A and B are shown apart, each in its own frame.
Chain A
Amino acid sequence: DQQVKQNSPSLSVQEGRISILNCDYTNSMFDYFLWYKKYPAEGPTFLISISSIKDKNEDGRFTVFLNKSAKHLSLHIVPSQPGDSAVYFCAASDYNNDMRFGAGTRLTVKP
């Protein structure tokens, strides 16, 4: 079941510009949302999260926006750096700690 969807398999941006990664979900019971970054041959690394009582959370260059009515969240990276090139997974969980992941978006930041 595709409860969390990342419709863009890949994204390419220029160094210094903004990267915007999108994620949609269908389960209205989800109340906690996360973004993970994954490099090849490594496990996913937690990046940033947001609970459903907020609509924005910021941590340095990374900002996550949540639109509950649209069941949509996005990750903004500003400015993008070549080291940000990785696969980004969106995840969502409900009160049962049942976490679902999107299929991932491969971000390439070009120097």
Chain B
Amino acid sequence: EAGVTQSPTHLIKTRGQQATLRCSPISGHTSVYWYQQALGLGLQFLLWYDEGEERNRGNFPPRFSGRQFPNYSSELNVNALELEDSALYLCASKTGGEGNQPQHFGDGTRLSIL
């Protein structure tokens, strides 16, 4: 079974630009989560998508946005990039519906802002 895949592995941008990060969930998983891990910090929750709808978002400004496609893959868009956006962005997926299930993570996209 293929795991969660993220692309690109690394992304280098300059201040003010826009970045798009992509995530393909495990087959059969309908929920996708995005997290930011800045250097030396834990995982900060960004966004949660399920069945194409945004279900919840963390304490991040509106320039962080995303969407989920009909095949359950997802994009994270970051506009007007700032130096502080440099971080590892992790995507996770899990089965939808009720009940406790673990999230499964991809290996992340390292975003560097110059």
Contact surface of A with B, Cβ cutoff 8 Å: 1, 6, 31-32, 34, 36, 41-46, 49, 51, 89, 93, 96-104
Contacts and interface: CB of A to CB of B under 8 A. Distances in A.
A43 B33 CA distance: 13
B48 interface: yes
A100 B48 contact: no
Contacts of A1: 59
Interface in B44-77: 44-45, 48, 55-56, 59
Interface of B: 4, 31, 33, 35, 41-45, 48, 55-56, 59, 90, 92, 94, 100, 102-108
B43 A89 contact: yes
B33 A93 contact: no
B71 to A, nearest CB: 21
Contacts of B41: 103
Given A34-B102, A46-B103, A51-B100, A100 B31 contact: no
Contact of A99 (B33, B55, B104, B106): B33
Contact of B100 (A6, A31, A46, A100): A31
B49 to A, nearest CB: 11
Given A44-B90, A89-B42, A99-B33, A32 B100 contact: yes
A43 B4 CA distance: 10
A44 B42 contact: no
Given A101-B42, A101-B43, A93 B105 contact: no
26 contacts: A1-B59, A31-B100, A32-B100, A34-B102, A41-B107, A43-B4, A43-B105, A43-B106, A43-B107, A46-B103, A46-B104, A46-B105, A49-B100, A89-B43, A97-B48, A97-B94, A98-B45, A98-B48, A99-B33, A100-B45, A101-B42, A101-B43, A101-B44, A101-B45, A103-B42, A104-B42
